[in-house]
Structure 1
Amino acid sequence: MNDSAFVAIGLPIALGIIMFGLGLSLTVADFRRVARNPKAIAFALTLQIVILPWVAFGLVKIFSVDSLLAVGVMLLAASPGGTTANLFSHLFRGDVAFNVTLTAINSVLAAFTIPLITNLAIRYFDTEGDLGLQTGKVVQVIALVLVPVGIGMLVRHRSTEFAAQTDRPVRVFSIIILVVVSLGALLGERENLADYLQQVGWVTGFFCLVSLSFGYGGARLLRLSASQAVASAMEVGIHNTTVALTISLSVLDSNQVAIPSAVYSVIMYVLATAFGFAITRGRLRSHGPSAAA
């Protein structure tokens, strides 16, 4: 799969369209909103950028994951939330505006934190001879993430009607691309797939559950609103695996590094849905007596 035109040309273009669509949902006001709610934003970003990479590192050490797969898990941990997180937040009564703000800031920061965390993982797990994010590739990652987002925001600024009309098609396109790329990455390593699933299936599952739990539980401990806690859980727990897959396949040129994100992209839908129903039911029960009264 790595030698195909889809990975070399089509996948970066597809990601560009997805990130362009993300930009269509963002405005400068989303960044200004940080000043109004700095505690909530700071918590979620610290969890996403600082805590989760350490959680991922601990999991790959505990489960003794092979080096390339371990790099893939770290790349997954460094990837930001995205439009899927916004959708899940909406479904489970989260503060979607909070999600949009986090997505906007995280998308900018991820252009720099992804190369940093991935390079550290490459050096630590001693895979430098197989792959690496040199200066040119770092610039490529930044361009893949930031440029289309900026163009999307500019287009929205000039035509909110076009942005609204394009939102749904881009979301559908994002899901299709994620499914195609995930299946392609898994099939590309089908001979070793059973072994890889045994190694990273539990790791990615635990990582997803820990991310969701930390996002929700930490927000509640900080006494954020229930809707903000849901938004935090989904933003932190549902990573933009399309970004991780694109970097794995087209920048690092490695199917093995892509495997954790491919597996996670399937597991996260199941676990996030179950988690969302669990916390929503809890909120309904907590409001039940007062509503009845």
Structure 2
Amino acid sequence: MSKVERLGKLIGRWFTLLVVLWAAFNYAVPQASLWLVPNISYLLGIILFGMGLTLKIDDFERIAKKPLPVIAGTVAHYVIMPTLAWVLCLIFQLKGATAAGVILVGSCPSGTSSSVMAYLSGGDVALDVSIETLSTLLAPVALPGLLLLFAGKYIDIPTASLFLSTVKIVLFPIILGVVLHSIFGKKIEKVTHTLPLVSQVAILMIVGAVIAANHDNLFTAATALVIPVVILHNLSGYGLGYLFSKMIQLHDPQRKAITFEVGMQDSSLGATLAIKYFVPAAAIPSTIFSIWHNISGSILASYWRTKSSSEPKSVKTNFSKA
């Protein structure tokens, strides 16, 4: 095992704590990451390019061979999380950019850290990765459409620009990664062991940039309700995701995968689009979500692992994102 791979595994083990500490540091010293704010989209592109490099044509064939659980999980994700975000905005009477930010993170595709949580909990990692892939590929259409539906009354939604940006930020890096993997095969696989470290560093840089950009507005009366809203959003997503998977009579490992796929969001994408198209305050829900869902996901995965006697199914996952 190389030094880079060992470092990636070490950081992965303590990643949640590192995110919290790095966020606190950038709140205390915002100048440290302000220079990164204009480059957030490039950092996210690096993460998604790494995701593409880990995908093979076999991954898409797996979706085609067993589409029903994948489609069900993806539909559940894009129905439950945006609707929950909208309902919570109504209940807590959130307005403007703050409400739009909550709905934005709720409309994002699922986060790849869910695959780690599914693995740790003994869930169906192959199903998790398949849902994650499909939800990400659908993001250019789903995200602007859901924002227009649920957040249009809070803020102007540049639907066409969001679509084009999501294609550029999300689809292009993933497709490029898949193409390179298909062309170079095992030569690419030799470097994929470095991807966890690259992704983790990029995530930390995004978190730092968003904290720095929102330093003056992070803890104000206007955003005081964001933390409980984000926590309720994430936990309710887990609960409804699990109930949905139970209702359609999936097996326990599949229930775990769908629970994480529904409740965990690609908050890095949410923060990136908020900074680019709205005001910095709209990125606050995504930033808090990024920190919180890693904490809650780790706790839930640990609980399920201790309750289950089955071993986690091993599927190769070489990327991680908040």
CA contact (8 A) 1:52 1:77 kept: yes
1:47 and 2:73 equivalent? no
C-alpha distance in 2, partners of 1:19/1:154? 13
Deviations 1:114-139 (A, max 9, x none): 111223344221x22xxx32524421
Which of 88, 92, 113 is equivalent to 2:117?
88
Q: Deviations over 1:210-236 (max 9, x none)?
A: 112222232233221221111111222
SS at match of 1:234: helix
| Deviation (angstroms), 1:253 | 4.6
Could you tell me which residue of structure 2 aligns to residue 209 of structure 1? 235
Counterpart CA distance in 2 for 1:161 and 1:28 is: 14
1:162, CA displacement in angstroms? 3.9
2:297 matched to 1:267? no
CA-to-aligned-CA distance 1:171-225 (integer Å, 9 cap, x gap): 2232223233223323433333223552110111011111122222322332212
Runs of 4+ that moved beyond 6 A: none
Aligned-partner residue type, residue 135 of structure 2: N
2:140–2:167 CA contact under 8 A, matched in 1? yes
Q: Which runs of 5+ in 2 are unaligned?
A: 1-29, 311-322
Q: Does 1:173 align with 2:202?
A: no
Amino acid at match of 2:37: V
1:77 correspondence with 2:106:
yes
Question: Are the aligned partners of 1:83 and 1:171 in contact in 2 as well (CA < 8 Å)?
Answer: no
- Report the secondary structure of 1:124's partner residue: coil
- My pick for the range that moved more, 66-75 or 158-167, is 158-167
**Which of 217, 221, 246 is the equivalent residue of 1:220?**
246
- Residues 1:108 and 1:140: Cα distance change in structure 2 (over 3 Å): same
Asked if the contact 1:182/1:263 (under 8 Å) is kept, the reply is no
Q: Secondary structure at the match of 1:190?
A: coil
Rounded to whole Å, the distance in 1 between the matches of 2:246 and 2:162 is 39
Residue 176 (structure 2) pairs with residue 147 (structure 1): no
Partner of 1:103: 132
Q: Is the 8 A contact 1:72 1:248 kept in 2?
A: yes
Unaligned runs of 5+ in 1: 286-293
**Shift of residue 281 of structure 1?**
2.9
Paired positions, count: 277
Q: Percent identity?
A: 23
TM-score when scaled to structure 2?
0.79
**Pairwise CA distance, 1:65:** 1.5
When residues 134 and 224 of structure 1 are mapped into structure 2, their CA distance, relative to the original with a 3 A threshold, is closer
1:7 equivalenced with 2:5 (yes/no): no
Q: How does 1:6-45 map to 2 (within 5 A)?
A: 6-8=36-38, 10-45=39-74
Query: 1:164: Cα distance to partner?
Result: 2.9
Secondary structure of 2:224 counterpart: helix
| Code of the aligned partner of 1:57 | W
1:124 is the counterpart of 2:165:
no
**2:52 aligned partner, one-letter code:** G
Bigger share in helix: 1
SS in 2 for 1:12: helix
State the alpha-carbon separation in 2 of the partners of residues 162 and 197 from structure 1.
Answer: 48
Verify the 8 A CA contact 2:110 2:264 in the aligned structure 1. yes
Q: Residues 218 and 280 from structure 1, CA distance in 2 versus in 1: closer, same or farther, beyond 3 angstroms?
A: farther
Residue 220 to residue 84, structure 1, CA distance change in 2 (3 Å)? same
Aligned 8 A contact 1:17 1:170 in 2: no
